Chains A and B, each alone.
Chain A
Amino acid sequence: MELFTNQVLAGIATGAIYACMALAVVMIYQAIDHLNFAQGEMAMFSTFISWQLMQWGIPYWGAFIIALALSFVGGIAIERILFKPLAKAPVLTNVAGFIALYAIINSSAGLIWDFTIKQYPTPFGSAPFLGSQLISTHQAGMIGVTVLLLIGLYFFFQYTRIGLAMRAAASVPESARLVGINTSWMIALGWGMASAIGAIAGMLIAPVVFLEPNMMGGVLIYGFAAAVLGGLTSPFGAVVGGFLVGIFENLAGTYIPGVGNELKLPIALALIISVLVVKPAGLFGRYIVKRV
């Protein structure tokens, strides 16, 4: 039983990261209707920036804030420079653009910081949490930061003018434009926020997976899976999906014989597909009714 609780709690902790990633994916999906395949690499780059700042002697939280701000600006810049010209291009062309961005970021990070694995500090420490053997303080910190982020986003979208404008621009761009919302900048803002959220996920997971240019590959796939499982139209669903995927991944790795680390990912994906076959729009997604 202790093993079970332990695995579930560890699942919730990694699930928190998947939830962040999924949230970033959904933010961009809502804004431009595309899955950003380079999301993980963007997060990795932000994490490297914060690491570099710490190497230069800036304390953890200072580096954290600066990296967030830089990621926000960087996300907006990527949208303005690279993807705005592609807005009218076919969907598959956009996907190719994301793959190109992935290659560019991954290769540049490798050149700047090389491919050796680096230690990344945790601000929470790695002692057991409140004397309990089940969960470390870093894992608890990961969950805590994610929950804070979610609450913050909820208030931003529900109670601020700009949050409302972003939601309007995402759901009905034409009408939003008619009431004077600059939808083009709302999209850029979505990119900036997604980039910053991804950076948080990266900086939280880095002490666990260690810092290197390919560290987000696996995390992004789980993030996608979580977003799709919860429903791409629902940020809330994405978060729930993240936790579910985290827990399931851990339990499958522990209890299904022969799964181990190698087959964890395919099994998790297989489960998600079975869910999707029953509920094609995801657990919390909106069904779009088509008129015949």
Chain B
Amino acid sequence: MSAVEDVVTEAPAVEAVPKRAMTLGTGTSVVVLLLLIAIPLFAKNFVIFQLTQLLYLGLAVLALNILTGGSGQFSLGQSAFYAIGAYVTAVMMEAFNVNYVLCLPVAGVLCFGVGFLFGQPALRLSGVYLALATFALATAMPQLLKLNFLEHWTGGVQGLVVTKPDAPFGLPMSQDMWLYYFTLVVVLAIYIFSVNLLRSRSGRAFMAIRDNEIAASAMGINVALYKTLAFGVSAAITGVAGGLSAIAVQFVAPDSFTITLAIQLFLGMVVGGVGWLPGSIVGAAFIIFVPNIAEGISKGLSGAVFGVLLFLVIYLVPHGARQVAILGQQLAGRLRKN
């Protein structure tokens, strides 16, 4: 059981920095936002597609971050919620001709329900036991999607092809670019929501539970409610990310949502820094681009190169991109003083 306590005690170990550490400073945020708006104007369609991928995977990492960094619960089952979101979106768009903008909130609400319900039995489990339970969910999901009686909607093993939406109102934009800005708006909205959620009463309750469950319940926090709530919110955001991925990739199939995806999201969270929301995008960049770099260095040994790069990252900065950001902040502070 001590693994659990470690998660709990380790998470705030870097917390000596100001409360702001959950977000970026105002100046940095504006610069990052301007870059995110400007880059696609000068980039090719493939690069824009990759940036879109970065955004929605970053969103999924953010969701995991709310769960693990916020409430201290560990999940290897995020790929299941991601799959549900993607499939709900794809099925609604293709079988029922619903507009894609409306599909995302439905995917979110549905995933919230599933996550909340899954959080109920998960309440009694923690640490590695919770990891195993969520892992079971992740391994079961591709098999469930292949089930015969769902095949009519899900397309079984073959999966479903999704039509890419055009830019509305006759805007002079390529489909990729429109989808990028659409994704950016959704991700920004959810990011701002998440930052505020973690600063709110509920967010503080999450963190109190993460830091010390017994003390939290002694203070009158309904531990069961907030733990399941964290699961629900995390699942909902993951579901929206899955929905965005279905629209962007234009294809869903059971084998895109295996445990590998859940592991990638987990690595993204660790590399970005557990509990630091802006790190989610850095983590997503790591899981998208580093395998490509590894492939470039050696085709046959790409897995090994990826492993070595991952080891390098965790040796140099065990707390992920968050540690780099804190170092940068301190350095900037020192420069200002001189």
A contact residues vs B (CB 8 Å cutoff): 33-35, 82, 85-86, 89-93, 95-97, 99-104, 106-108, 110-111, 221, 224-225, 228, 232, 262-263, 265-266, 269-270, 272-273, 276-277, 280-282, 288, 290, 292
* Ranked 7 nearest A-B pairs via Cβ: A107-B303, A269-B136, A266-B140, A104-B307, A103-B307, A90-B10, A89-B318
Q: Are A292 and B218 in contact (CB under 8 A)?
A: yes
19 A-B interface contacts by CB (under 8 A): A35-B3, A35-B131, A85-B315, A86-B314, A91-B3, A95-B270, A96-B266, A101-B307, A103-B310, A104-B304, A107-B302, A225-B132, A262-B146, A266-B143, A269-B135, A269-B140, A276-B132, A292-B214, A292-B218
Partner of A110, one of B140, B146, B300: B300
**A266 & B318 in contact (Cβ 8 Å cutoff):** no
Q: Is B193's beta carbon under 8 Å from chain A?
A: no
CA distance A190 to B301 in the complex (A): 29
By the criterion CB–CB under 8 Å, are B311 and A92 in contact?
no
- Contact with B129, one of A110, A270, A280, A288 (Cβ below 8 angstroms): A280
What residues of chain A lie closer than 8 Å to B321, measured between beta carbons? none
Query: Chain A residues near B318 (CB, 8 Å)?
Result: 86, 89-90, 93
| Residue ID in chain A nearest B130 by CB atoms | A276
A228:B68 contact, CB within 8 angstroms: no
| Most interface-central of A106, A107, A225 (chain B CB within 10 A) | A107
- B132 near A263 (CB under 8 angstroms)? no
Q: Are the CB atoms of B124 and A276 closer together than 8 Å?
A: yes
**Nearest-Cβ distance from residue B240 to partner chain A, whole angstroms:** 24
Residue of A nearest to B302 (CB): A107
The minimal Cβ–Cβ distance linking B212 to chain A, given in whole angstroms, is 10
Please, which residues of chain B bring their CB within 8 A of the CB of A93?
270, 314, 318-319
Cross-chain contact A262 with B143 (CB below 8 angstroms): yes
B270 to A266, Cβ gap below 8 A?
A: no
Which of B10, B132, B133, B143 has a CB less than 8 Å from the CB of A91? B10
CB contact under 8 A between A33 and B3, given known A96-B267, A102-B307, A108-B301: yes
- B133, B305, B307 — which one has the most chain A CB atoms within 10 A of its CB? B307
Beyond A33-B2, A35-B128, A292-B214, whether A103 also contacts B303 by CB under 8 A is: yes
Chain B interface SS verdict (over half): helix
The contact string, 1 if C-beta is below 8 Å from chain A, for chain B 295-313, is 0000011111111101100
Q: Mark B304-338, 1 if CB is under 8 A from A, else 0.
A: 11111011001100110000000000000000000
Q: Are A99 and B301 in contact (CB under 8 A)?
A: no
Cα–Cα, bound, A74→B59 (Å): 39
Contacts across chains A and B counted by CB atoms under 8 Å: 139
Q: Which A residue's beta carbon lies closest to that of B218? A: A292
Question: Chain A: interface secondary structure?
Answer: helix
Residues of B within 8 A of A (CB): 1-3, 6-7, 10-11, 13, 68, 74, 121, 124-126, 128-129, 131-133, 135-136, 139-140, 143-144, 146, 214, 218, 263, 266-267, 269-271, 274, 300-308, 310-311, 314-315, 318-319
B319 interface neighbour in A90, A232, A282, A292, Cβ under 8 Å: A90
| Inter-subunit contact A107/B304 (CB<8 Å) | yes
Beta-carbon contact of B13 and A111 below 8 Å: no
The chain A residue sitting closest to B320, CB to CB, is: A93
Given contacts A269-B140, A273-B121, A276-B133, contact A108 B214 (CB under 8 A): no
Q: Are A232 and B314 in contact (CB under 8 A)?
A: no
A266-B143, A273-B121, A276-B125 known; A90-B274 Cβ under 8 A: yes
Which residue on chain B has the smallest CB distance to residue A263?
Answer: B143
The residue in chain A whose Cβ has the minimal distance to the Cβ of B74 is A92
B308 and A100 within 8 A (CB): yes
